[in-house]
Amino acid sequence: MYIESLDLKNFKLCKDVHIDFQKGLNIISGVNGQGKSHILKAVAFLLTNYTEKKLDKFINWGSDEFYAHMVFYIGEDKFDISARYAKKKGSSTERKLIINDKITIEGSTVLTALSSKVDPLLGQASMLSLQWSPNIITTQSAERRDFLKRIHNADFKAQIKEIEETIKATEKETLSKLEKEIYALTNKEYKFGEVRELPFDSVKYDLYSATANTLLMQISQIDSQIQERDKLLVEKTSLEHQKEVNVAKKNKLIVDKEAFLTTKENVLTKIKSKIDPSITLTEQFESTDFLSEVKAIDEELKSFVVERIGTFDETPLQELQVKLNELYSSITVINKSIEATKSGVCPTCNRPFESHDIEDYQKELDSLNALKESIVASLDEEKTKKKEFDEKLQNKKVVEVKHKAALEKKSRAEKQSEIDKDNFIKNIEKAKLAHENEVKGLHRQIELINQNLDSFDSSVVAIDEAIQNIESRLASIVIIDVDVDSKKILELEYKEIESKKAEYDSITTQNELILQLNEKLTKEKEQDAVLLDKSTKEREQVILKIEHLKKVKELLRKDFPNFIISSLLDGIRKNMNEWVEKVYDGRYPVYIEEDSTGISILYGSEKEEASFSSGFEHGLLSLAYMNAMNKSTKYGLLMLDEIDAYATDKNSDKIYRMIAESPDYEQILLISHKPDVKKMLEDEYQAKVFEVKNGVVFENT
């Protein structure tokens, strides 16, 4: 497995980051607090759903959401995964996974699809080492067993629960059903019947049968005589009824014929009295004046006289108005001058007014007022002329409108008179046609009456012939008396014999049924014995199956998980010792011991508990464990966060050379502060180096 690229937006310190990783070694360097570890956490989040309690912790302080996107390969398969999370109440992570640029998965099913490729717990345990994060080295011995069970799927709780449910279902359904069947078969009763004794022997039965047949023949002969008599009585009654019906038909035909003759006379009278209404309508048409309204309108048009009126000359009126306006202006100026003289000084030149100045102004004002009155009188006279002209003009317009309306009314009246004439002519034609059709209908009615009268005579003749035939048949019918009482005696005798035979037959049938039932019960008893034997054997098999399931349950609960864990521990111990021995030259052997309290990981000659290790030993043991796990998972990806923080330069050199030269890793992402290590890996193993500053990633070239 290897990561091709990673994009982060507002993920912890990484506000906007894009990284193109290479296969093999990738070094992420930088001073503390720049966001290096956040890159590994983002990869772990996308790959294994790694979190730190809450997803809110992954959001940059200055933002409300983060976005992470990664492209990685497992073998030849390409995986494109993205996740977006917003800090809102009730919000969830929006995930999207595209496989080989073809298959798209969204929502909660992304984690399910991804976990089938990379197990989250196993992936974190074998690929990821973060500073200060707990792992199997830091846990207590009692917790390690459960941890290894979860990682290696050695916890069979689901299978044990399934077995318990199977045992319960088997006991409740199969075993219980079999026991009920066995109990029912063991306690089943078979009621065999007893055969009854016959009232007489078969010879007497045959004699009774022969006597019954003879009686039956005698009764049948009497029944035939009765049927013949009844048949003749029915026929006679029917013929008498037919005769009555035919007589009634004949009488009805005679009455109907008289009615038709009366109707014929009435129709002939009606034809003679019919008068053509079109004659009266034609007389009305000739006497009607259709142009009476048009003539009245012509008289009205003669009363409209349009007087010729010329145009009114408004020039004198306008000139007088202009003169009057100018005169008003002059009067206003003189009035102001008169007011000014009251102050004694001219407002323009400051010259003192003389007494004759005031008299001159007053004379001029009087002259102007006299002229004004003359002009006003002339102006009123012109306005009166204008008003008279306007009234004549308005009257002319009214007459013209009325004249136009009368002409339009005349046009409509002329059109209407033509329509009325046409309608009148059509009505005459319709009346004439209706009269002709009515007369024709009456003549057809006469023809039908004549036809019916002809058929009446032939029908009466036919009915008379039918009555004669019926009377002839009635005369030929002779009814013979039958002895009904003798039939009753024979029937009683026959019934008594049949009763005895029925008793014999009933007992015989019952005995046959009893024998059949006894035979059936014998077979059923034999079959039940076979079924009881089969059910008993099946119950024994079910009991053996339940016992077997209980043993398997106990095996899965204790023995098999212990066997799996023991096998895993041998491989882990061997791989861890290979790593520790290369670094410490065999001075710190690793021991893995298992007892009832749990699993202990010990190291050194004193066998110290690994959880008590510190500094470089802790990091080395963690790395050795991860390497052992990676061998078993074959994920081929390793992510290390300052695993050499407490190591000497020599030990750091050894560790990273071992990692770089290991054939088990397709890609390694590591964080280290040691420049010598970075230079060695870059020079000798072509490591790709990324510098992180304030959440921004720079690729060294």
User: Mind listing the pLDDT tens digit for each residue in 325-344?
Assistant: 888 888 888 888 878 777 66
- What Å distances lie between residue 367 and 372, 374, 426, 436, CA to CA? 9, 11, 89, 104
651, 681 Cβ separation under 8 angstroms: no
Per-residue pLDDT, 669: 96
- Please answer whether residues 690 and 27 qualify as being in contact, where contact means their C-beta atoms are separated by less than 8 angstroms: yes
Task: Extract the tokens encoding 507.
Answer: 């007992």
**Bridge partner list, 81:** 70, 97
For residue 428, what are the contacts with CB-CB under 8 A and spacing of at least 6? 278, 281, 282, 285
- What Å distances lie between residue 467 and 82, 237, 331, 457, 664, CA to CA? 111, 14, 140, 16, 127
Give which of 297, 294, 296 is closest to 417, Cα–Cα. 294
Cβ atoms 78, 100 nearer than 8 A = yes
Contact assessment for residue 633 and residue 74, using Cβ atoms and an 8 Å cutoff: no
The mean pLDDT value of the chain amounts to 83
Segment 423-433 mean pLDDT: 83
- CA angle 655/658/663 to nearest 5° reads 150
Asked whether the predicted pLDDT for residue 249 surpasses 60, the reply is yes
Q: Single out the residue of 51, 86, 42, 88 nearest to residue 65, CA to CA.
A: 86
DSSP type of residue 647: S
Q: What is the rounded distance in angstroms from the CA atom of residue 617 to the CA atom of residue 611?
A: 10
Q: Which of 632, 687, 679, 633 is nearest to 659 (CA)?
A: 687
| Side-chain-side CA neighbours of residue 632 (13 Å) | 23
DSSP 220-258: HHHHHHHHHHHHHHHHHHHHHHHHHHHHHHHHHHHHHHH
Under DSSP, is residue 634 helix (H, G, I), strand (E, B) or coil?
A: coil
Of 449 and 541, the structure prediction assigns the larger pLDDT to: 541
SS3 string, 403-442, reads: HHHHHHHHHHHHHHHHHHHHHHHHHHHHHHHHHHHHHHHH
Q: Which CATH number fits domain 2-137+629-699: 3.40.50.300, 3.30.200.20, 3.40.50.720, 1.10.1270.20?
A: 3.40.50.300
Q: Is the pLDDT of residue 686 over 90?
A: yes
Answer left, alpha or beta for residue 607, where phi above 0 means left and psi between -120 and 50 means alpha.
left
**What pLDDT score does 70 carry?**
97
pLDDT at 372: 85
Higher local confidence (pLDDT), 531 or 229: 531
pLDDT tens digits along 452-497: 767 777 777 777 777 788 777 777 767 677 677 888 888 898 899 8
Distances (CA, A) of 62 to 13, 15, 82, 645, 664: 10, 9, 21, 31, 41
Comparing 19-33, 128-142, 345-359, which segment has the lowest mean pLDDT? 345-359
Q: Which two tokens stand for residue 656?
A: 């990273």
- Tokens 């899965």: give the residue: 556
Bigger pLDDT: 345 or 241? Answer: 241
Per-residue pLDDT at 405: 82
Work out the pLDDT band at 83, boundaries 50, 70, 90. very high
Strands 128-129 and 598-603: unpaired
Per the model's pLDDT, the better-predicted residue between 306 and 654 turns out to be: 654
User: Tokens standing for 133?
Assistant: 């994060």
Tokens found for residue 448: 């039908």
Neighbours of 81 (CB within 10 A): 20
pLDDT computed for residue 192 by the predictor: 82
Enumerate residues 6+ apart whose C-beta is below 8 A from 194.
514
Q: Please state the φ and ψ torsions of residue 96, each to the nearest 5 degrees.
A: -150, 135
Q: What is the C-alpha to C-alpha distance for residues 69 and 120, in angstroms, rounded to an integer? A: 18
CA 126, CA 135: separation in Å to the nearest integer?
10
E strand or H helix that includes residue 206? helix 202-273
| 305 CB-contact burial (10 Å; exposed 0-12 / middle 13-18 / buried 19+) | exposed
Please name which of 694, 700, 697, 687 lies closest in space to residue 26, comparing C-alpha atoms.
687
Q: Which residues pair with 450 in a beta bridge?
A: none
Nearest by Cα to 128 from 181, 199, 182, 51: 51
Domain ranges of the chain: 2-137+629-699, 277-450
Q: Which of 22-26, 377-381, 504-508, 672-676 has the highest mean pLDDT?
A: 22-26
Opening angle at CA 434, ends 428 and 437, nearest 5: 140
- The average pLDDT across 174-184 equals 87
Lookup result for tokens 């893995």 = 592
Lowest mean pLDDT among 140-144, 607-611, 651-655: 140-144
